[in-house]
Structure 1
Amino acid sequence: ILDGHKDIPHDLIVPYLAFDQDNFEAALATIPKGGVASHEYTLEEAKAAIEANTKK
């Protein structure tokens, strides 16, 4: 994704990982015992985050 670009922001603000009562049990089933919840961003999500955090 960097592809030689030097204008990528050092810090990126991305949406929080969140669970609510409606999806907690389903999300919990995907987290390994002793693990932590995380989100693996798609290429499209990463590009959108960079674009949203780039000062113009």
Structure 2
Amino acid sequence: MKFKTLSIVLFCGFSVAKAQNLNKETAAIQSEGNMLYHSEMASWYGSDVLQSISAVNLIAI
């Protein structure tokens, strides 16, 4: 009976420790995703600006 109780307590302890580690990993993945999103938005706006500049230059020629 003591072994069964000890096993359950240890299992719950390891589960909580693993969940905390997963939260750290999740935060790191979400941070990287946010950086990629902002990078893509910057390149999107940059390409729009360059296309508008080249369109103006073509009209001037």
Structure number with higher helix proportion: 2
Same fold (TM over 0.5): no
Question: Which structure: larger Rg?
Answer: 2
TM-score, length basis structure 1: 0.24
